[in-house]
Amino acid sequence: MVGSVPPAPEFGQTLPVEAAPEVVAFLAKRRSASAMTLTAPGPDDGQLAEILRIAARVPDHGKLAPWRFIVLKGEAKDTFAERIAPLAE
């Protein structure tokens, strides 16, 4: 997956729209996953960088860009999870 993302079009540039039935089929099969099913291993650093690069290209009708992503790993992630757990109760 890493390296397969084309460069983002320039702002104002006409987007290249092509018929892609496989994309529609893929989107039709999407589903949410419960947090309990999201277990290790997660994406590696390269995969995560690509995921975030794509995520930063989502439509921004609220003009909230530039996006800011915070990635928590290891002890920082564990500490964060412990501190927010009471909010879910």
3-state secondary structure 8-62: CCCCCCCCCCCCCHHHHHHHHCCCCCCHHHCCCCCCCHHHHHHHHHHHCCCCCCC
- Residue 44 in any domain: the answer is no
Return the percentage of the chain with pLDDT > 90, whole number: 33
Task: Give the pLDDT confidence score for residue 19 in this predicted structure.
Answer: 64
The mean pLDDT of 11-33, rounded to a whole number, is 81
Q: What is the mean pLDDT of the chain?
A: 84
Q: What is the domain count for the chain?
A: 1
- Residue 55 in any domain: the answer is no
Supply 7's token pair. 């460069």
Confidence band of 66 (pLDDT split at 50, 70, 90): confident
Give the range of the structural domain holding residue 85, as residue numbers without chain letter. 62-89
Instruction: Note whether 74 and 82 are within 8 A (CB).
Output: no
* DSSP label at residue 86: G
- Residue 87 in any domain: the answer is yes
Q: Say if residue 64's pLDDT is above 80.
A: no
